[in-house]
Chains A and B, each alone.
Chain A
Amino acid sequence: MLQFKLVLLGDSSVGKSSIVHRFVKDTFDELRESTIGAAFLSQSITIHPNDGNEANAKGVVVKFEIWDTAGQERYKSLAPMYYRNANAALVVYDITQEDSLQKARNWVDELKNKVGDDDLVIYLLGNKVDLCLGTPDAEISQESNEDGDNEQKVRAISTEEAKQYAQEQGLLFREVSAKTGEGVKDIFQEIGEKLYDLKRDEILSKQNRQINGGNNGQVDIHLQRPSTNDPTSCCS
C-alpha cells in the first residue's frame, strides 16, 4: 500500500472541506462551518496503473492522508507545516468569486517557492460548478442570474482563464462540484496515478527488495521467545 500526504489550500469558503468530505464520506453539508486550524482525514482508493507490471494487475491501493487547512488569514501560519513534505497539493478556488483565483495563484507561487516543483503535484481546482450549470463554459450569460433560482450565480472565472494559467504553471486542472460530487472522485484517481507514475521507480525497487530479500528480512519470532526451560524465566 502506498501512502501519500495531500494538502488542501485556498481562500476561505471556496469549498475545500466540502471537497474532502465528498471524497472521504461522500456527503455534502450545505451549512458547513468554517474549518479551524487544519483537519485530518484519510481515505484509500485503488488505482490501476498500466505500466505492464503484473503485480499491479489487481490494482494498487493508495492511501491519502489529507490535511484540510483553514482558509482564513488567521491560520495562514499553519499552512507551511502541512504543505511541507506533502506529495500533492489541491489549490482550490471558487468559480463564482473573482479574487479566489488570485488567492489560489498566491498559493501556487508560495508552493513553488518553498517546496520546489519536482516532487509536488499541484492540482488547481475550480469548485462550485453546480452554481453555474446554466453557463457551461467561458461565455458569461447575465440572463441566468435572473432566473427564479436564487442559488444560481454568475460565473466570475472562466474555464479558459484558469486552464490557461494551469498550463502555464504546469498544474493539473479540473472544475468540480462538491455539492453534486461531479469530478471529485476523478481528482483523487488522477493524483494517485500521477504520483504512482512519479514514484514508480522508487516503488518498484522497494517491491523488488521485498521479493528478493525473501526470508532474510523477516525476523524469526521463535528465536526471541524465552525458553521455557530457562529457570530464570518467569514463564515457567
Chain B
Amino acid sequence: MVSNGTSSDTPSNLSIMDLENVSCPICLKKFDNLQALNKHLDVEHEFNSNEGSLGSNESSTVNGKATKVNSSADKVQKLKRSHWEKLQKGISHCQACGRTLNNEIGAINCKKCGKLHCRRHLPNMIKLDLSARYEPEKGKWYNCCHDCFVNKPGYNDYGKAIDLTQKFFKLRNMKKEDKNLRLLQLENRFVRLVNGLVTLYKKYNGSIIYNLKMNNEMSKLERTVTPWRDDRSVLYCNICSEPFGLLLRKHHCRLCGMIVCDNTYRNCSNQIDIGYLVSAASDLPFDYDTERDSLSEIPVSVRLCSHCISMLFVGRKFSKDVEMPLSGIFAKYESMQNISKVIDSLLPTFEDSLNNLKLETFRDSKRVPDPKNLNELARLRHKLLNSFNLYNTLTRQLICIEPRNHVERQLQNSIKTASAAYINEKILPLKSLPAILNPEGPKTQKDEPEVKKLSQLMIENMTIKEVKELRQELMVLKEQSYLIESTIQDYKKQRRLEEIVTLNKNLEELHSRIHTVQSKLGDNGFS
C-alpha cells in the first residue's frame, strides 16, 4: 500500500477494504480503493464543491502533532483545536472501536467533535469553518468521525436524489410531438385523399367513360396527396424487407408513399374500402358523410401500409374499446375490486380496536369492556361481514358467467382462486372476535345470528395452515389410492393374486384414511 505524490497519507491509511487498484481519471494517481479515490476527487479536484479554489489544505495529526502535508497549508489559517481530546498513551481509546490508541493504529482527532479515533474510524470528510462548525458552502474539507458525518444537517444514507422527471417529460414530449405531427400530416392526407376520391366517383359514376377515366384520375389524385417514391431504386419491402420480384409486387402506400409488398400473410399493406376507412375514423372532418352519401356503397378502395394503418386507426380503435361497456367478467371483477378496497380499508381499523379490546381484557379479566367500544366493533364487523358476503356473491356470479374464449376461461379460474385466497386470508381477524365476546355472557348473545353467519364463512376451528395441510394429505392419499388401483389392475392381468391381497388391504387402509381426512375437512374439502 504505497502511494506516490505529495499529499499521500490519508488515502492509503484509510483503505479498509482493499478492493482493487483504482487510479484518478484526472491526475492518474493510484488509490487502493474506491472510497479513497472518491475522497481524492472530492478534495483535490473539487468535485461535490461549489467553492472556487480549494487547495489541498488537508492536515492530519498523529499523536497530537500536526503534520503539514502541503506547503500551501502554511497560508491557510489554522482550524480551532481547543476542543480536541488530548492523547494519553495507553489510556485513550478509539471512540468507535474502543481499542487503545498507539502509533500502530494511529490516533487522530475528529476535526469536528475533537474526539480521538484510530485511523480506521475516521473515514469521512466534512466541510468545516475555522471554528469547527459545519459549513457546507465556504468550509474546507476535514476528516471527521462517522457520528459527526451522519449528524450533519441534510445527511441521508441513500445519497443525493435528483428529480429527473421534468427532464424525462421534456424528452418524452419531444418524441410525442414528433409523433403527433406525423399523425396530423397523415390525417390531412387521408382527408384529402378521401374527399378527392369521393368527388371523382360522384363525377364519373354512371358515365360511360367511368372505367376509362376513373383509374387515370385516381392515380393522378393519389400522387398529389403524397409524393410516390421512385420504384426503381427500391429493391426490398419497406416493412418486411423481403426482396421484390415476380411474385412479390411493389405497391405504394397511398398515405406515406412508401413502397411495400402485398403479402397477405405479413400484412405489409392492405387494400381497404373507403367507406370502411371513413367509418373507422369518423372524427376526421371529411366533406362527405358516411350515411348521407352512403360511402359504404362506393366501390373504391385505397392501399395503405400497415404502419399508416396502425398510426391512424389503432389509437382510435383503442379509445373506442375503452369507451365500450366491459364484458361480464370484467364488470364483475371491477365491482369485486371495489369491495375488496372497502374491506382493505375497514380491516385495519377493525383489527386495531380488536387489539385494544384484547389488551383491556388481558389486563383486567373482570372488567367488562366499554359497551360503546363493543357496539362500534360489532358495527364494523357487521359491515365487514356484509362486504365479504357481497364479495362472495360476486365471485359466484362471476363463475357462473360463460366465458367467451379460453383466455376468459383462464381469467375466470384465476379470479376464482385469488378470491378464495383473499377471503381466507382476510377473514381471520373476524374469527377471533367471538372468542372475546363470548365470555362476556348473555349481553353479547344478541348478535348470535351474525356469529353464525361468520362461522359459515369461516373454516371451522381450523387455521388456514391446518386446512392446507389436510388438503395436501387428501390429495396425496387420493393419488396413492389411484396408483394402487391401477397396480391392482396390472397384477390381475399378470395373475399375481397374492400381491393383490396385500394391495387390496392397503387400498382399504387408504380409503379409511381418506374418509377420516375428508370428515375432518368437512365442507372445506374438494368438491
Contacts and interface: CB of A to CB of B under 8 A. Distances in A.
Interface of A: 36-40, 42, 65, 74-75, 77-78, 81
14 contacts: A36-B480, A36-B483, A37-B479, A37-B480, A38-B483, A40-B487, A40-B499, A40-B502, A40-B503, A40-B506, A42-B502, A77-B476, A77-B477, A78-B477
Interface of B: 472-473, 476-477, 479-480, 483-484, 487, 496, 499, 502-503, 506, 509-510, 513
Nearest to B483: A37
Given A81-B509, A81-B513, A74 B483 contact: no
B499 A37 contact: no
The DSSP consensus for interface residues of chain A is mixed
B510 A81 contact: yes
Given A40-B487, A81-B509, A81-B513, A74 B476 contact: yes
Contacts of B499: 40, 42, 65
A78 B487 CA distance: 17
Given A39-B487, A42-B499, 20 more contacts: A36-B479, A36-B480, A38-B483, A40-B484, A40-B487, A40-B502, A40-B503, A42-B496, A65-B499, A65-B502, A74-B476, A75-B476, A75-B480, A77-B473, A77-B476, A77-B477, A78-B476, A78-B477, A78-B480, A81-B509
A75 B473 CA distance: 8
B480 A74 contact: no
Contacts of B480: 36-38, 75, 78
Contacts of A38: 480, 483
A78 B476 CA distance: 8
A42 B496 CA distance: 10
B473 to A, nearest CB: 4
Contacts of B476: 37, 74-75, 77-78
B499 to A, nearest CB: 5
Given A36-B479, A38-B480, A74 B472 contact: yes
Nearest to A63: B498
Q: Considering the complex of A and B, which 7 residue pairs feature the smallest CB-CB distances, nearest first? A: A37-B480, A77-B473, A37-B483, A42-B499, A65-B502, A37-B479, A75-B476
A36 B510 CA distance: 15
Contacts of A74: 472, 476
A77 B499 CA distance: 23
A32 B509 CA distance: 28
A42 B503 CA distance: 11
Most chain B CB within a 10 A radius of its CB, from A42, A65, A77: A77
Contacts of B506: 40, 81
A40 B487 CA distance: 8
A208 B506 CA distance: 31
Nearest to A67: B506
A86 to B, nearest CB: 12
Nearest to B472: A74
Nearest to B517: A77
B200 to A, nearest CB: 72
B57 to A, nearest CB: 56
A81 B477 CA distance: 10
A38 B476 CA distance: 10
A184 B510 CA distance: 30
Nearest to B482: A37
Contacts of B503: 40
B224 to A, nearest CB: 71
A129 B3 CA distance: 56
A80 to B, nearest CB: 10
Contacts of B496: 42
A81 B481 CA distance: 12
Contacts of B472: 74, 77
Contacts of A77: 472-473, 476-477
Contacts of A75: 476, 480
A74 B499 CA distance: 26
Nearest to A75: B476
Nearest to B481: A37
Contacts of A39: 483, 487
B202 to A, nearest CB: 74
A78 B472 CA distance: 11
Nearest to B510: A81
B204 to A, nearest CB: 75
B368 to A, nearest CB: 45
Contacts of B510: 81
A81 B476 CA distance: 12
B282 to A, nearest CB: 59
Nearest to B469: A77
Contacts of B484: 40
A39 B499 CA distance: 13
